[in-house]
């Protein structure tokens, strides 16, 4: 007897959520289970995985199982491969991945079981257990193959050596890179780009900075660490490569500079991922936000307290920030904003009304709060 899964046609998304996955994957799955069920799954995805794309793909695999009785999608297999490659590079155990998948399937089961009759719920659980078993088997096999490949690669050995130096260990003499000079560290990353694309972007950036020596290290499948050096401090505008993100630290000298510039580049990358802004992402421009992001809860409390109702008005916030950036220079602010001076003055007065105080009162705190709101956005504005 054919299982009756028609009750799933009644499942509708409660909220609209921006998908994280590739459009072609969503289109493929929607063609099998329907747009409504896909949107319902997108809204349901949990934070069980570092990559939202992977989290979404696991939910969709569960929905494929309950809608068709099996997990059938070549593109879902590609997403599973992404998860295993990333996990191996980060040293995550396969058990951790499988447990995250199990928890995700449990959430799907709980949400759908509340809508089903007893016979439908029985079929639902049977389909989910079957799909979970199939996906877990695939992940374990992919993980084993990827781990074997990674452990045998020269990239792994090179990364181990660099990490030893970064952590204060030995091996600097085996890097083939002079650590006595001034260094500029980069972190380069992108989804859907090859390792060669990342290397090309890193080399172009280091050449633009005037670096005469380079060190490139594959940190993980979609991320590259890079350093460039010269005899004098490095400073330059870096070129942009479409689809590839570059974060930079501050130029610094010697082994200590090699480490500190890398730490700063990593921090700039974290902020870039938090804010989702286009790059390049220079730590020099993000240092204040980086300090605030060490404790986002405290930063958010500070911003909301300082800005009050102004926090909800993006246009007035931006105008006031630019006005303060130019040291309350009306002409300069108007030119920067491409509006009339009277418009700037009007907006500043409106902002003061929302603040319920003149901007000269606590001006430094206000300027910092506006800067953090501009840089960190929803992370501090709520």
| 226 — pLDDT class (breaks 50, 70, 90) | very high
Kindly report the average pLDDT of the chain as a whole number.
86
Q: Nearest Cα to 166, choosing from 91, 76, 257?
A: 257
Considering 1-10, 11-20, 332-341, the range whose residues carry the highest mean pLDDT is: 332-341
Tell me whether residue 197 is in a domain: yes
Tell me whether residue 259 is in a domain: yes
Percent of the chain scoring above 70 in pLDDT: 95
- Does pLDDT of 102 surpass 50? yes
- Does pLDDT of 298 surpass 60? yes
Same domain, 249 and 309: no
The structure tokens 């700039």 sit at 268
Same domain, 178 and 299: no
Tell me whether residue 98 is in a domain: yes
pLDDT, tens only, 191-201: 766 778 889 99
Same domain, 189 and 275: yes
Whether the full predicted model's pTM is greater than 0.75, yes or no, is: no
pLDDT, tens only, 167-215: 988 888 888 899 999 999 999 998 766 778 889 999 998 988 888 899 9
Tell me whether residue 93 is in a domain: yes
Tell me whether residue 267 is in a domain: yes
pLDDT, tens only, 305-317: 999 999 999 999 9
Range of the domain at 24: 6-152
Number of Cβ within a 10 Å radius of residue 340: 10
Domain closes at, from 285, 313, 334: 285
Same domain, 80 and 192: no
What are the DSSP calls for 162-198, one per residue?
A: HHHHHTT-S-GGGSSS-TTSEEEEEEEE-SS--HHHH
Tell me whether residue 220 is in a domain: yes
pLDDT at 134: 87
pLDDT at 233: 66
Domain closes at, from 285, 311, 343: 285
| 1 — pLDDT class (breaks 50, 70, 90) | very low
pLDDT, tens only, 320-376: 999 999 999 889 999 999 999 999 999 999 999 999 999 988 899 999 899 888 888
The count of structural domains within the chain is 3
Same domain, 143 and 161: no
Domain closes at, from 105, 124, 152: 152
Looking at residue 212, which CATH number applies to its domain?
3.30.70
- Does pLDDT of 72 surpass 60? no
Same domain, 23 and 70: yes
Length of the chain: 382
Same domain, 320 and 336: yes
> Is 217:166 a contact under the CB 8 Å cutoff?
no
Pick the more confident residue, 75 or 8: 8
> Is 66:107 a contact under the CB 8 Å cutoff?
no
Same domain, 177 and 84: no
Same domain, 232 and 248: yes
Whole-angstrom distance, CA of residue 244 vs CA of residue 279: 9
Residue 188: both structure tokens together: 């380069």
Tell me whether residue 195 is in a domain: yes
Same domain, 12 and 148: yes
Same domain, 92 and 211: no
pLDDT, tens only, 113-133: 988 888 888 999 999 999 899
Tell me whether residue 1 is in a domain: no
The structure tokens 């009644």 sit at 10
Beta-sheet strands, E only, within the chain = 182-189, 213-220, 223-230, 245-248, 252-253, 281-282
Same domain, 45 and 164: no
Q: Are strands 245-248 and 281-282 parallel, antiparallel or unpaired?
A: parallel
């Amino acid at each position: 007897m054919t299982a009756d899964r028609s009750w799933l046609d009644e499942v509708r998304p409660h909220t609209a959520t921006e998908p994280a996955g590739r459009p072609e994957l969503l289109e493929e799955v929607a063609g099998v289970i329907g747009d409504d069920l896909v949107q319902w799954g997108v809204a349901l995805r949990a934070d069980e995985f570092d990559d939202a794309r992977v989290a979404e793909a696991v939910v969709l695999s569960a929905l494929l199982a309950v809608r068709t009785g099996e997990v059938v999608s070549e593109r879902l297999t590609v997403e599973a491969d992404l998860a295993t490659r990333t996990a191996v590079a980060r040293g995550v155990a396969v058990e951790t991945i499988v447990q995250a998948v199990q928890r995700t399937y449990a959430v799907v089961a709980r949400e759908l079981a509340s809508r089903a009759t007893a016979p439908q719920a029985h079929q639902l659980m049977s389909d989910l257990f079957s799909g979970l078993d199939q996906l877990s088997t695939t992940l374990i096999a992919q993980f084993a193959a990827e781990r074997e490949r990674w452990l045998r690669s020269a990239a792994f050995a090179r990364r181990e050596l660099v990490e030893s130096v970064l952590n204060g260990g030995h091996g600097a003499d085996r890097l083939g890179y002079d650590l006595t000079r001034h260094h500029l560290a980069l972190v380069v990353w992108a989804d859907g780009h090859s390792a060669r694309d990342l290397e090309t972007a890193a080399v172009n950036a280091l050449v633009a900075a005037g670096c005469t020596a380079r060190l490139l290290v594959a940190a993980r499948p979609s991320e590259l660490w890079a350093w460039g050096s010269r005899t004098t401090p490095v400073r330059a505008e870096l070129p942009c490569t479409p689809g590839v993100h570059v974060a930079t630290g501050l130029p610094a000298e010697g082994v200590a500079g090699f480490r500190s510039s890398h730490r700063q580049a990593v921090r700039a990358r974290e902020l870039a991922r938090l804010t989702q802004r286009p790059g390049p992402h220079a730590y020099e421009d993000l240092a204040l936000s980086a300090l605030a992001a060490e404790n986002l809860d405290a930063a958010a409390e500070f911003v909301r307290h300082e800005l009050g109702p102004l926090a909800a008005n993006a246009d007035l916030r931006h105008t006031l920030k630019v006005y303060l950036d130019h040291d309350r220079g009306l002409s300069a602010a108007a030119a920067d904003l491409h509006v009339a001076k009277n418009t700037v003055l009007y907006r500043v007065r409106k902002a003061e009304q929302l603040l319920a105080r003149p901007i000269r009162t606590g001006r430094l705190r206000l300027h910092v709060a506006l800067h953090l709101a501009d840089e960190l956005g929803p992370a501090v504005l709520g």
